[in-house]
Amino acid sequence: MIRQYLSLPALVDRPLRARALVAFLGAVLLTVGFAPLARAQETPYFVAYSHHLEEPGNLEIETYSIYGTQQGHGDFIAPWMELEYGVTAWWTTEFYIDSQTTFGDSTVFTGTRWENRFRPLMHEHWINPVLYVEFENTTDADKTLKEVVGFDDQLDAAEPNSVANQSHTHEIETKLILSSDYKGWNFSENFISEKNLGHEPWEFGYALGISRPLRLAATPRPCNFCRENFILGAEAYGGLGTTDLLALSGTSHYVAPIAAWQMPSGVTLSVSPGFGLTDVSHRFLLRWGMSYEIGGFGRKLRSLF
């Protein structure tokens, strides 16, 4: 299916898909046009979070996408953009814009998210806690799968866009992030809780991450292909039921290896193929992304006024 989507005949026969792909590539090109830059410190996870926050005053622009297979409807690609800003050393805030294209259906804008992460303990500890709060203003057509909670089922995404995008949801999501660095390794554990502000019980989920650069010591000169620029890792994530029924069965669970390439220019490229582990999971998910960090953005912005 991916080869069919990316092939030239498929793009010609499916102009809707072509427009979505061109729009995504255009967002990527806009991202790399900014300067100056700084190197990001964050780990390469797509779903899990570590205790590393954005550097104070830095702005990171990120574009990500997910391709997913879908039972009972067309496969989909869901691109989103993130603007992440380091307010202080202990507070990072982030704004999301979500969209998706379902093959054989349509392309729709699915909403926005506002995320905040707070680190109460600034010094490094064996376990470093971070508190996460996010407000979501999305529709049922959202397919970014930034988290999996409750009894999320792949059939939830099978509803036509014309119907799903009419149902708006306002949700609050919280996470307890526990993260440790040890001899170059990062270990991250996230406990997720999410609540629809209109109705429904609290839904719970988890995300686990582990990663490490191929080499810890940096080379004296800037180098694109040096081993320390490449990070390998893996994620596991899934639902844990609701306040009515806590459970591991009947929920979606995934495992996904991760590879990231952090270049001296400040650009980071990452990719992660994911595999569903249960009958209600999407069989295959492919995530990819690009990020670019602007150092001292807050200071330069203030100097204009």
Which tokens sit at 234? 């893996």
The two tokens of residue 226 are 């040096």
Question: How many CB atoms within 10 Å of residue 211?
Answer: 22
Contact 110, 141 (CB under 8 A): yes
- Structure confidence at residue 47 (pLDDT): 98
List CB contacts of 67: < 8 A, sequence separation 6 or more. Answer: 2, 5, 75, 76, 77, 285, 286, 287
Residue 147 has pLDDT above 90, yes or no: yes
Q: Three-state SS for 297?
A: helix
Residue 6 has pLDDT above 60, yes or no: no
The CATH superfamily label for domain 2-302 reads: monomeric porin ompg (2.40.160.40)
Give the separation between CA 188 and CA 258, rounded to whole angstroms. Answer: 14
Residue 42 confidence (pLDDT): 67
Q: How far is residue 173's CA from residue 194's CA, in Å, rounded to a whole number? A: 4
pTM, rounded to two decimals? 0.85
Cβ neighbours for 265, distance < 8 A, ≥ 6 positions apart:
37
Q: Domain ranges for the chain, please list them.
A: 2-302
Q: Give the residue carrying structure tokens 């990001």.
A: 40
Q: For the chain, give the number of residues.
A: 305
CB of 115 closer than 8 Å to CB of 107: no
pLDDT tens, residue by residue, 62-93: 999 999 999 989 999 999 999 999 999 999 99
Cis peptide before 79 (omega within 30 of 0): no
Whether the per-residue pLDDT at 13 is higher than 60: the answer is: no
pLDDT band for position 4 (50/70/90)? very low
pLDDT at 17: 42
> Looking at the predicted structure, is the pLDDT value of residue 97 above 90?
yes
Under a CB-based contact definition with an 8 Å cutoff, are residues 96 and 115 in contact? Answer: yes
